[in-house]
Chains A and B, each alone.
Chain A
């Protein structure tokens, strides 16, 4: 799958990244594409809280 130049440009502008960002590393982008597909194919329900949610405690604990 070709990388979307407009998506790359969007990220580059929003994050003020160097102009060459996203032009290289085809193999790595391909690996990431495969991983994204795998993760979205995993069975996860809406009531699944993402890991990394806040760990709260009372101030006097």
Chain B
């Protein structure tokens, strides 16, 4: 019999709902596994086993309060958690205890989830790495900035997690760790109570072991929040799990779905094994009934990536300017350089960069008239060796800049046993489309079932 800690979120939620498994049994199994593997993986900034156990006991004594009833989750340590230290991977924030929960944390709790602890992040979700390691190869980065969330999920130390993405911080670590990570459309999930890195680029989102797990988490956290204006102009959230369960979805496969393959950018410096896995994934998508066709990215695409980096630069400098006056020496070298260069970007350049963004969004909307989904590699290769860098976000940055939804689903293992990811991106607020494609791909392959050799 599968140990409870090894169940996917969906399997565990079903077992708890059917009373085949109690929240306490699930938690104890998970905590026992954490004890065995965490000393090597270092995914957690802080764990709260006693509080989690009390919550599991309470939930075990009540009827199901939501679809995540009794499910242990991890939350990246830039999400505010009432009464729980939130240090953002920074010595500057050490000891900071928020008085309120981020909206996403409130919603996870309301759905019945148990907050097992806070997962490691790079410093303020930027560049200077956290202690977390990649469960597939401990001397390789797990990626960043949602390093601990990805590592904890891959190592089976929690059943779901929250991350954030400003450039590539959900999709890249998820790909490096062989799990599923979804960056929602900007405005789909509230940013309230998440320490900002760059306000107009920050996207909170769900991470899980399977596509269905991620859909369940997105169901719980998506929707309007009066505290985040970006969510108020968004259309109502869908029921993402229902979209996967849509009667006949399995039989129809991906018929009539058009999948675009970009003509450039995503293949610069692409690792040979990642390229092979990507081509194989496209073949599988074709076999599932979709039409795979080449598309030409807009001429403005590359300038858009420069605009992204400048906006990121300037907004990060604005976030940190007050602290920087007194605590400059307490910042890591990479973030320090980022903040200092951000101070020197002229204001007209920032506005121009936001205009380039408008233009590229228009052009990409046009491109998405011809296709329903774009498929690209999720990273230039597998997780790089070493822990000093978290790898490159170039594959994911376009969709953070555009605000369009994107996700990664495992699509292979290298000869050295490192995971590779397939990135799927869709039209604004069409998360259900990319989830459906990812679920069909996942069902046709077995990459999501691979377990790290811990």
Q: Number of A interface residues at 8 Å Cβ cutoff, please give it.
A: 35
Q: Which residues of A contact B361 (CB under 8 A)?
A: 51
Give the distance in Å from the alpha carbon of A28 to the alpha carbon of B325 in the complex. Answer: 20
Q: Is B19 an interface residue (CB 8 A)?
A: no
- Let me know if A39 and B233 touch, CB within 8 A: no
CB < 8 Å neighbour of A50 from B230, B310, B337, B355: B355
B200 on the A face (CB < 8 A): yes
Q: Is the CB of A29 within 8 A of B344?
A: yes
Contact across chains for A25 and B306 when beta carbons are under 8 A apart: no
Q: Mark B271-309, 1 if CB is under 8 A from A, else 0.
A: 000000000000000000000000000001011001101
Q: Which of A29, A39, A51 contacts B306 (CB 8 A)?
A: A39
Q: Which residues does chain B contribute within 8 Å of A3, judged by CB atoms?
A: 344
Q: Do B306 and A35 touch across chains, with their CB atoms under 8 A apart?
A: yes
Chain B residues whose C-beta falls within 8 Å of the C-beta of A39 in the assembled complex: 303, 306-307, 310, 349, 352-353, 356
Q: Which residues of A contact B232 (CB under 8 A)?
A: 55, 57, 61
Q: Considering the chains assembled together, what is the distance between the CA atoms of A25 and B340 in angstroms?
A: 8
Contacts A25-B337, A32-B310, A50-B358: A11 and B343 contacting too (C-beta < 8 A)? yes
A29 to B313, CA, bound (A): 11
Given contacts A11-B344, A24-B337, A50-B357, contact A18 B300 (CB under 8 A): no
Q: In which size bucket is the chain B interface?
A: 35 or more
Interface 1/0 per residue, B294-333 and A, CB below 8 Å: 0000001011001101100100000001001100100000
CA distance A29 to B319 in the complex (A): 19
Structural contact, A21 and B345, CB atoms closer than 8 A: no
Instruction: Name the residue of chain A whose CB is nearest to the CB of B314.
Output: A32
B414 at the interface (CB under 8 A from A): no
Q: How many A-B residue pairs have CB under 8 A?
A: 105
Whether A49 and B358, one on each chain, are in contact in the complex, defined by CB atoms closer than 8 angstroms, is yes
Asked if B349 and A40 sit within 8 Å, CB to CB, the answer is: yes
- Are A42 and B358 within 8 A (Cβ)? no
How far is the CB of A18 from the nearest CB of chain B, in Å? 5
The one of A16, A17, A40, A61 that contacts B352, using a Cβ cutoff of 8 Å: A40
A2-43: CB near B (< 8 Å → 1, else 0) gives: 010001100100011110111011001101101110111111
Q: Which of A28, A40, A49, A51 contacts B341 (CB 8 A)?
A: A28
Q: Is the CB of B346 within 8 A of A50?
A: no
**A28/B337 in contact, CB under 8 A:** yes
Q: Cβ of A20: which chain B residues have Cβ within 8 Å of it?
A: 328
The smallest C-beta distance from B430 to any residue of chain A, in angstroms, reads 19
Interface contact A50-B354, CB-CB below 8 Å: yes
A36 near B233 (CB under 8 angstroms)? no
What are the nearest 9 A-B pairs in CB distance? A50-B354, A42-B303, A51-B357, A25-B337, A35-B306, A38-B306, A55-B233, A28-B337, A48-B355
Can you show 10 pairs from A to B with CB atoms below 8 A apart? A3-B344, A18-B328, A22-B344, A40-B352, A42-B359, A43-B359, A48-B355, A51-B200, A57-B232, A57-B233
